[in-house]
Amino acid sequence: MITIGLTGWNDHELLITHKKRNLEDYASHFPFVELDTSFYAIPPTKNILSWIDRTPDAFQFLPKAFQAMTQHKEWLDFFPSEEAMFQHYLAAFAPMIEANKIKAFLFQFPPFFHYSEEHLTYLRKIRHWMGELPVAIEFRHASWYSGENQPLTLTFLEQQNFIHAVIDQPQTPGNSVPMIATGTNPELTVLRLHGRNYEGWLNASGPNWREKRTFYDYSQAELASFIPIIRSLEKDSKEVAVIFNNNSGGHAAANAKYLQKILGLTFDQLGPQQLGLDLFNDF
């Protein structure tokens, strides 16, 4: 099975008919969404309950781990212990977990999180604190995939029942990983498409560097090139969840719709679309 989603639901004007119904409009087109706001702050329970109420029963979320959980920030700045941080995070998402609306939790590690025994130990702690919940791991340091480390990394992810986040991004020095199209979890593999804005990835500085990084419009040929990769990943996992993160220029929704079309996909149990807004036929 192949599913497609985007990062967030606010930045996709192609899908939105009314700003107060942005999530409802989004959920009428795609079966899941990556929740990136949880990286910056753990959402209050009232927000999570609202998101549950505003989406169909089958719709799912893929929340990012809070930034201190992936060592982007020091946990001491927020919580009395690492374990308390994880407990607070899981308590916040408990209603979504109970409603079976979590596809996976995404742990996206920073470029300085390299392959080491210390970091392997931390990943084991994550598995312990997250229990049996689905956890996707995205690395951004090439050492995880270099030389003899690559098979060790994939074996480790498989042993810990982690979901491998396969990445498409420009290959810049210092903050890129190669695309290693291998699944490590029998249930799910995540394919995150960040775009190929080389200059944006190379110059990760300034107030708007994240927007510059994700400003990219995949060509139809580039999107078609993902088909054999996705089909290969289907052999490793029951589901391949494709996420478009190239959203700062408004390209993600159109790219996702085109990929959906050329893959011949239809998604069941979505929310109702506004009359006349059948975007699938436009691509």
More confident residue, 140 or 273: 140
The pLDDT assigned to 87 comes to 96
Average of per-residue pLDDT across 210-215: 74
Name the one residue in this structure whose structure tokens are 């290693």: 180
Average of per-residue pLDDT across 160-180: 91
Q: Are 158 and 120 in contact (CB under 8 A)?
A: no
Lowest mean pLDDT among 13-22, 188-197, 245-254: 13-22
The pLDDT assigned to 276 comes to 45
Question: What are the extents of the domains in the chain?
Answer: 2-274
- The C-alpha R_g of the chain, in whole angstroms, comes to 18
Average of per-residue pLDDT across 174-178: 84
Q: Are 244 and 205 in contact (CB under 8 A)?
A: no
Average of per-residue pLDDT across 73-82: 89
Average of per-residue pLDDT across 256-265: 95
Q: What is the pLDDT of residues 190-199, one digit of tens each?
A: 999 999 887 8
Q: Are 231 and 259 in contact (CB under 8 A)?
A: no
Contacts of residues 142-147 at CB distance under 8 Å and 24 or more positions apart, as own/partner, are 142/176, 142/177, 142/178, 143/114, 143/115, 144/114, 144/115, 144/177, 145/177, 145/178, 145/180, 146/115
Q: CA torsion, points 211, 217, 218, 221, in degrees to nearest 10?
A: -160
Averaged pLDDT score across all residues of the chain: 91
As a residue count, the chain comes to 283
The topology (CATH level 3) of 2-274 is: TIM Barrel (3.20.20)
pTM of this prediction exceeds 0.75:
yes
Banded pLDDT at 282 (limits 50, 70, 90): low
More confident residue, 30 or 197: 30
More confident residue, 230 or 214: 230
**Helices assigned H by DSSP within 28-169:** 37-40, 45-53, 82-92, 94-98, 117-130, 149-159
* Contacts of residue 110, Cβ cutoff 8 Å, sequence gap at least 6: 70, 71, 72, 140
The pLDDT assigned to 210 comes to 66
Q: What is the pLDDT of residues 133-147, one digit of tens each?
A: 999 999 999 999 999
Average of per-residue pLDDT across 25-32: 94
The secondary structure of the chain in percent helix, strand, coil, rounded to multiples of 5, reads: 40, 15, 45
